[in-house]
Amino acid sequence: PGLPAAFRGARCAASEVSPGMHQTPIVDQLWAKRARAVGGDYRPGASSPSKPRTLTPKPPEASAQTIEYAFSDPSNKALVDKYRNPWGHVRPGRLFEDLDALAGTIAFEHCRSGDPQEKLLHIVTASVDRLKYMHRPDLENNLVLTGAVTWVGRSSMEISMRAQDTSWGGEPFMESLFTFVARDPETGRAAQINPLEVSGEEQTALFELGRKRAEARKAALTQKRKSGLHIEDETHRIAQELLSASQPLVRMPALAPENDVLLAETRMQNVFLTMPQQRNTAGRIFGGFLMRRAYELARSTAHLFGGRRPIFHELDEVTFRAPVSVGDMVKFESCVLYTSEQMDPQGRATIHTEVKAFILRPETREAVISNTFNFTFGVAVNEDGSGGSAMGGEVQLRRVLPENMLEACRIVERYLSDKQQVEED
């Protein structure tokens, strides 16, 4: 079959075929919308603009987007099947891809000018601050994804996303925050974007929250650069306690408590070659694809650790450090950092996993870290995988212990960060 009408004449960095055709129907729809908005060629810097960019304040509603999944429509069986997991629920990984594409489309709409002679900026996902699941949606009811810009700085913006199950009376089952940065396609430097024009108490309050989060991120980055390899006193103290607790397991494993396990024993990994079918509209590997692959490995890690079907709770602190290109060899490494019966506000037992993505370059013997993902899972209350997340005390999860100071600090830093997030909530 030929290309959809929206893509005829569209070009991408890798071939004459639209990259959206290889993604979910929602991603395909969103990327087609971008192509139509710029006359077919949606690559930043693809045209030769004759005019410099002008900045135009835009209200959030000017770029807000809504997507509906009509799962209840009997004619949409193919759509339902694309999002079905083996147990009849919606695949979170597929929603991650759609959320990233929808947030990217919102960022694109906010940054672009109505003048076709002005060049397009390169919009990059900088981070996903938090993606929280409140309950598992099913495939019998329609789902709605919505998003809008809530804060804009000089070259970065925060986009608030939510997903709703129409059977839950409008209450969201998932919420997330995406941060994007704009780059000049010719120089690669940060590019100034359209200011956000807010009105009313709600928009003003959301803008202020976004500003505070941006300031906190900058302060944390500055502190990290200043401290270098220095370990904070509290982190060092707790890490030393963990190392002391791990000594029986390291030195006298036959006498160690049965419930203890070394972090190294929870590790899993996979390596794959990125393909042209996984590219985005800029010709790089689609960030949503990387999020989905990381989730699938993290889920398997939690399943093999807990012995029961894991239930996704949260994705937190995704950082995009280096872009992944078509043809790159990518290695995902996962592990369980810690388990808890107190961290979850509802008192559910939780497994906290970390996934790191590396770009491997065998010719130069280099491994460049691209992404870090932190996932939180619950475990099914019943051994057959049915029911909701088990409460603390209903299941016994093993205690994860470090073998060295580096592992100990990784555990403690993640634990303290999660604890701070719970306190802020």
Token pair in block for residue 297:
């490995």
DSSP 111-152: H--S-TTBPPPEEEEEEEEEEEESS--BSSS-EEEEEEEEEE
Token pair in block for residue 85:
């997991």
Q: Is the dihedral of CA 23, 24, 26, 28 positive or negative?
A: positive
pLDDT at site 227: 61
Which residue type does 134 have? Answer: M
Helices (H), 7-91: 25-37, 77-82
Q: How far apart are CA 203 and CA 207, in angstroms?
A: 6
> Model pTM?
0.88
Give, for all 425 residues of the chain, the pLDDT tens digit.
333 333 333 334 434 567 888 888 889 888 888 777 766 555 544 544 556 778 999 999 999 999 999 999 999 999 999 999 998 889 999 999 999 999 999 999 999 887 777 878 888 888 998 899 988 888 988 999 999 999 999 999 999 999 998 877 778 999 999 999 999 888 889 999 999 999 999 999 999 999 999 998 888 777 766 665 556 788 899 999 999 999 999 999 999 999 999 999 999 999 999 999 999 888 899 999 999 999 999 999 999 999 999 999 999 878 888 999 999 999 999 999 999 999 999 999 999 999 999 999 999 999 999 999 999 999 999 988 888 899 998 999 999 999 999 999 999 999 998 998 888 77
Helix, strand and coil in the chain, % to nearest 5? 35, 30, 35
